[in-house]
Chains A and B, each alone.
Chain A
Amino acid sequence: MSVTLVVNGKSHTVNVDPATPLLYVLRNDLGLQGPRFGCGLGQCGACTVLVKGVAIRSCIVPVSAVKDGITTLEGLAKDGKLHPVQQAWIDEQVPQCGFCQNGQIMTAKALLDKNPKPTDAQIREGMNRTLCRCMTYYRVQAAIKRVVKVIAADRPEAEKEVVA
């Protein structure tokens, strides 16, 4: 059966079983390698992609359940400039092996889009189901806090005003 998907702003038509998990279509048919297989159970987050801004686990979502608005790690940079989350990951030198970092970055992006000023507790809660076996959690959290500062600095002055 043919399925049409819009990924990172580009439309693709593939001929696959509609029950195929989105992850395998992204990786094997569209040649995208940001999302990765870690568990196939929706437990670890290595396969995370954004669908209309929401972080989902592509290893347990059938390709037929999503159509457009899919963003993968490769789609975060705009006009050759890394997304602030990606830049913060470099500035904080977050990865060890890096295998899970797709999930960390995509989950952090969705978290920050929804809540640009998360508290430490909200960061822990929002990131908690995204696993890293190199245990880079401390640096991931530091990088998210760095992005929060960057977002605040980039906001127009009027928005920054806090009325006491």
Chain B
Amino acid sequence: MTTFTKIPKQVEDVLENMGGTISRRDLLKSAGMLVVSFAAVGTSPVTPPASAQAPAAKSGPYPDPDFRQLDSWIVIHEDSSATFYVGKTDCGQGTGTSFRQMMSDELDVAYDKTTCIMGSTDITVDQGGSGGSTAMERDGWPMRRVAAEARRVLLEMGSARLGVPVGQLAVIAGAITVKGDPSRSVTYGELIGGKRFNVALTGNNINATTGVAAVKPVQELKIVGLSPQRYDIPPKVDGSLKWAVDVKLPGMVHARNVKPPVAGAKLVSIDESSVRGMPGLVKVVSKGNYVAVVCEREEQAINVAKKLKVNWEKPVAAPFPSSENLFNYMREVTPTSSAKQIVVGNPDNALADASKMIEADYEIPFQGHTAISPAHAMADPSNGQMTVYSNDMKSYGMRTGVAAFLGMPREKVRVVWMEGPQGYGRTAADDAGCEAAYLAKEIGRPVRVQWMRNEETAWDTKAPAFAVKIKGGLDAAGNLVALDYNARAADYNHVGYNEHDTVLIAQLMGIRRAKPAEGSAANPSEMYAIPHRRMATHVVSLPLVWETPLRTGNLRDPNGPQSTFASESFIDELAAAAKADPMEFRMKLLTASTTEDGGFRRARSIAALKAAADAYGWDHRSSPKPRGTGEILTGRGMAYAFRGQTVVAEIAEVEVNRRTGHVWVKRLVCAHDCGLVINPESLRHTIECAMLHSLSRTLHEEVQFDTEKVTSVDWNSHPTLTHADAPEKIDVVLVNGDPNPNRSDLPPYGAGEAACKPLLAAVANAIYDATGVRLRRIPFRAPRVLTALKAAQV
């Protein structure tokens, strides 16, 4: 019997037949590069249980690939094509294409002669998967350096083969040629095709991985900056791509969970007679409050899960206030933690002395991921190992979590990453992987877990609700002299990354870590020079901390949209109070003198604002504009923010129907500076969709609940942006506002999330411009807007 589980052919094809003839695993194995790094477990947030600590080296078939070996990253084939192995996943933003561009460029091979393998823990190095918009900003660097190192090594080999010093050689598209004598040449394939480099790399951690070679100056990059079409799109369009939902294994069975009907309910008993004799039933599995049914066929599992009678006991105390009472609760309850305040000058005195002081409260509800596909995974327990086929954006974290949860050595667990619905943080805290692995171990057959729609919408991880109070003071000339920002986020016990003691199945089984994660609120992220300011953030807890459908986790640009909705709406309120043009009001705050940031991010903020204003054709005037007389009122609003070093300025143009309260964002403009752009077209698309994701949160999304359970559970009760909401026009301007724009080391900054941040406020500000009505609670569904318009007699 083979040591390894048979991988489904479609996955095998992807993993093994990328134009080469040698098996990836065989290559790594024979090179001794599948090294066991159990000693390095200290880098993991999880302490393995005792049973997992005993085995020494070589305790399983899936040790970690060694990131300090060039062969772990790059394979050159006989035909001079190359396969790149990176420790990343692609959540749909085309990062794989960009990785290929960067590595092809450094290696000097044609882009279309390369392929990229991502995220399978046994054959790709651990770069942590996806998250934090770090793909280009952080993880692209080791990729570029190892590709540059491979080029250097190949040039040395070419030098030896051709008998010419490296300095007299040139490389074009994988062929090394003697300068001035093109008849003398050798290809990469001829030098090393199908063989190993056997070159050691250095670096204290994977992000620092490097060889001897330096990366190319930006000016010498030829593939970076082009827009090759994403390689993953044709198979997504013709139906040939195998997704994580498509994995089929011999002997597999289907599972469905049965969730507590009320948050915090305890399982009393299961009446198995209620499903006895139903077709295909394999087993009812339960432990603690976790209940699942396993059947031979998928529709059978759905039917059995519906029919199973479970006796639950409701909790004595209400698990949470209703969503209608949430913000009052959040403002009144004692915080579980408060961050150290950031204080500049004397904000209290400055507010007291201000010519004009205004204050406002902003409310942002819990918002879910509500991915288009509910959670899913397949786990195969064959041969005493565990293989999980998953769309987890942090497949490496899932592997560690599954191993710890099952008490298995990490070397016996692997996660094969496959495409799935958008990540955005949901799959960094995936639930189905651990559930499938647990059930597979229980049943002894491959198990596929698939959450249902109501389960996902009710129980997925949520972005925390925010209640924000801001005060601001203007002097007699309308200058902003003081700002007091105070935010509360319902983020206690924020769920981490696939941890064995926070994943939902663990919670339902009664597993508790000693101390729940504190969670966090967020400060505004702008570069305004304000002489006196205070920024205070607090975390509050709902009554039920564990086993709650209102468990918070990371949602795309975690906390950014919430805090920026408040802060950038308030800047607009101040501009209106000063009767100033909102763009000029911001620009004045950015050009005011400061030493902070050496002018770098500030200079780029100014450039982004100007670019947005130019692209839109901004009319310089104060808001609101004189109200129109027709049924449709129009207006424009802007907002700006940064995330890391990425700066974004956005402008929204809205139409508000004063009769119905319906809001249509007709036009969007985004000026976006993320430094070096790898693939402009792919970046533009990501920015468009990031803005529309936030538009959905602005107009539609809210997790609603009574005092027992989440009540927004499908696409009717939890509406989302639709085709009808799509803007008529979206303009994305890619800005390079670097004070030294032609620097040869211009870095790429993150781009997957920054554009999410300012959009909510831009829309609120546009609605104010159109109607004179300030909306301070998200979302802006038509009934809420209409009520506000009527109250203001619009």
CB-nearest residue of chain A to B452: A40
Residues of chain B within 8 A (CB-CB) of A61 are none
Contact A135 B689 (CB under 8 A): yes
- Of the stretches B366-374, B761-769, B771-779, the one at the interface is B366-374
Are A96's CB and B237's CB within 8 A?
A: no
| B242-257 CB contacts (< 8 Å) to partner A | 242-243, 245-246, 248
In the complex the two chains form, is B372's CB within 8 Å of A131's CB? yes
State the interface size on chain B (CB cutoff 8 A). 60
Q: Is the CB of B723 within 8 A of A38?
A: no
Interface-side segment among B265-273, B477-485, B714-722:
B714-722
- Give the one of B372, B450, B693 with max A CB within 10 A: B372
Q: Mark B676-695, 1 if CB is under 8 A from A, else 0.
A: 00000110011011001101
- Assembled-state Cα–Cα distance A120/B420 (Å): 30
Query: A24-B299, A138-B692 in contact; A123/B239 too (CB < 8 A)?
Result: no
A41 touches B714 (CB 8 A): yes
Contact between B724 and A125, CB atoms less than 8 A apart: yes
Supposing A131-B720, A133-B371, A141-B723 touch, asked if A95 and B236 sit within 8 A by C-beta, the answer is yes
Check A95–B233 contact: CB distance below 8 A: yes
| A93 engages B682 (CB within 8 Å) | yes
> Which one of A37, A72, A101, A124 contacts B245 once the chains associate, using CB atoms below 8 Å?
A37
Q: Do residues A135 and B372 form an inter-chain contact, with CB atoms below 8 A?
A: no
- Evaluate contact between B239 and A134: CB separation under 8 angstroms: no
B229 part of interface (Cβ distance < 8 Å): yes
B270 to chain A, nearest CB (A): 24
Q: What A residues does B92 contact at CB under 8 A? A: 95-98, 134
Does A86 touch B at the CB level, under 8 Å?
Answer: yes
One digit per residue, 1 when the CB lies within 8 angstroms of any chain B CB and 0 when it does not, for chain A 19-35 equals: 01100100110011110
Q: How far is the CB of B320 from chain A (nearest CB, A)?
A: 25
Q: Do A132 and B715 touch (CB < 8 A)?
A: no
Contacting residues, chain A, for B371 (C-beta < 8 A): 133
A134 and B715 within 8 A (CB)? no
CA distance A135 to B686 in the complex (A): 10
Chain B 656-712 residues near chain A, CB threshold 8 A: 681-682, 685-686, 688-689, 692-693, 695-696
| A39→B475 CA distance, assembly (Å) | 55
Residue B137 at the A interface, CB < 8 A?
no
Closest A residue to B423 by beta carbon equals A97
In the complex, are the beta carbons of B237 and A101 less than 8 A apart? Answer: yes
Q: How far is the CA of A159 from the CA of B426 in the complex (A)?
A: 51
A39, B714: Cβ atoms under 8 Å? yes
Whether a CB of chain B sits under 8 angstroms from the CB of A5 is no
- Which chain B residues border A119 with CB–CB below 8 Å? none
Interface range on chain A (Cβ under 8 Å from partner): 35 or more
B684 to nearest A CB, angstroms?
A: 9
Q: Which of B229, B370, B715, B723 contacts A124 (CB 8 A)?
A: B723
A46 touches B373 (CB 8 A): yes
- Which residue of A36, A99, A120, A135 is within 8 Å of B696 (Cβ)? A135
CA distance A94 to B230 in the complex (A): 10
A43 touches B714 (CB 8 A): yes
Mostly, the B contact residues are loop
Nearest CB of A to B218, in Å: 25
Contact (Cβ within 8 A) A44 B723 = no
Please measure, in the bound complex, the distance between the C-alpha atom of A38 and the C-alpha atom of B457, giving whole angstroms: 11
B345 touches A (CB below 8 Å):
no
Q: Which of B91, B715, B716, B726 contacts A97 (CB 8 A)?
A: B91
Chain B residue contacts of A17, Cβ below 8 A? 279, 299
Residues of B within 8 A of A6 (CB): none
Interface secondary structure of A, over-half rule = loop
- Give A33 to B373 CA distance when docked, in angstroms: 14
A32: nearest residue on chain B (CB-CB)? Answer: B239
A98 CA to B93 CA in the complex, in Å?
A: 10
Contacts of A72 in B (CB 8 A): 239
Cβ contacts under 8 Å, A132 to chain B: 372
Cα distance, A96 to B108, chains bound together (Å): 28
Q: Which residues of B have CB within 8 Å of A120? A: 728
- B356 CB–A CB distance under 8 Å: no
Contact mask for chain B residues 713-744; partner A; CB cutoff 8 A; 1 contact, 0 none:
01110001111111110100000000000000
Q: Is A90 an interface residue (CB 8 A)?
A: yes
B421 is an interface residue with CB less than 8 A from chain A: yes
CB nearest neighbor in A for B715: A43
Q: Which residue, of A28, A31, A94, has the highest number of chain B Cβ atoms within 10 A?
A: A28
Is A105 at the interface (CB under 8 A from chain B)? yes
* Cα separation A138 to B421 with both chains bound (whole Å): 18
Asked whether, in the complex, the Cβ of A133 is within 8 Å of the Cβ of B370, the reply is yes
A30 to B714, CA, bound (A): 28
Which A-chain residue is minimally distant from B240 (CB atoms)?
Answer: A74
List chain A residues, Cβ under 8 A from B727: 138
Nearest B residue to A135 via CB reads B692
Q: How far is the CA of A90 from the CA of B238 in the complex (A)?
A: 10
Write the nearest CB–CB distance from A145 to chain B, whole angstroms. Answer: 12
Contact of B543 with A by CB under 8 A: no
Select A21's contact among B299, B374, B682, B689, beta carbons within 8 Å.
Answer: B299
Contact assessment for B453 and A40 in the assembled complex, using a CB-CB cutoff below 8 Å? yes
Given known A-B contacts A38-B453, A90-B229, A105-B237, A99 and B373 have beta carbons under 8 A apart = yes
Query: Within the complex, what minimum Cβ distance (angstroms) separates B346 from chain A?
Result: 44
B64 at the interface (CB under 8 A from A): no
Contact B725 A24 (CB under 8 A): no
Residues of A contacting B297 in the complex (Cβ-Cβ under 8 angstroms): 16, 24, 28
The residue in chain A whose Cβ has the minimal distance to the Cβ of B728 is: A120
In the complex, what residue of chain B is closest to A73 when comparing beta carbons? B239
Residues from chain A with Cβ under 8 Å of B53 in the complex: none
Is B419 in contact with chain A by the CB < 8 A criterion? yes
What is the chain B residue whose CB lies nearest that of A133?
B372
Q: A43-B715, A133-B720 are in contact. Are A99 and B229 (CB under 8 A)?
A: no
Do the beta carbons of B419 and A97 come within 8 Å of each other? yes
- For the complex, give the distance between the alpha carbons of A34 and B725 in Å: 26
* B234 lies within 8 A of chain A by Cβ: yes
Q: Is the CB of B239 within 8 A of A128?
A: no
A33 and B720 in contact, given A133-B421, A134-B693 (Cβ under 8 angstroms): no
> Residues of A contacting B238 with CB < 8 Å?
73-74, 76-77, 82, 86
Question: Do the beta carbons of B723 and A140 come within 8 Å of each other?
Answer: yes
A55 within 8 A of B: no
B443-458, CB < 8 A from A: 450, 452-453
- Given A28-B298, A96-B422, A38 contacting B689 (CB threshold 8 A): no
- The residue in chain A whose Cβ has the minimal distance to the Cβ of B236 is A98
Judge whether A102 is part of the interface by a CB distance below 8 angstroms.
yes
User: Whose C-beta in chain A lies nearest to the C-beta of B448?
Assistant: A28
Give 5 closest A-B pairs by Cβ, nearest first: A97-B92, A135-B692, A98-B236, A96-B92, A34-B239
* 22 sample A-B contacts, Cβ–Cβ < 8 Å, listed by A number: A34-B239, A73-B238, A89-B233, A93-B230, A95-B236, A96-B689, A97-B92, A97-B372, A98-B241, A99-B243, A99-B372, A99-B373, A99-B420, A99-B421, A124-B724, A128-B722, A130-B723, A131-B722, A133-B371, A133-B422, A136-B689, A137-B721
A40-B453, A102-B239 given. 5 additional CB < 8 A pairs?
Answer: A36-B373, A37-B245, A44-B715, A98-B233, A123-B723
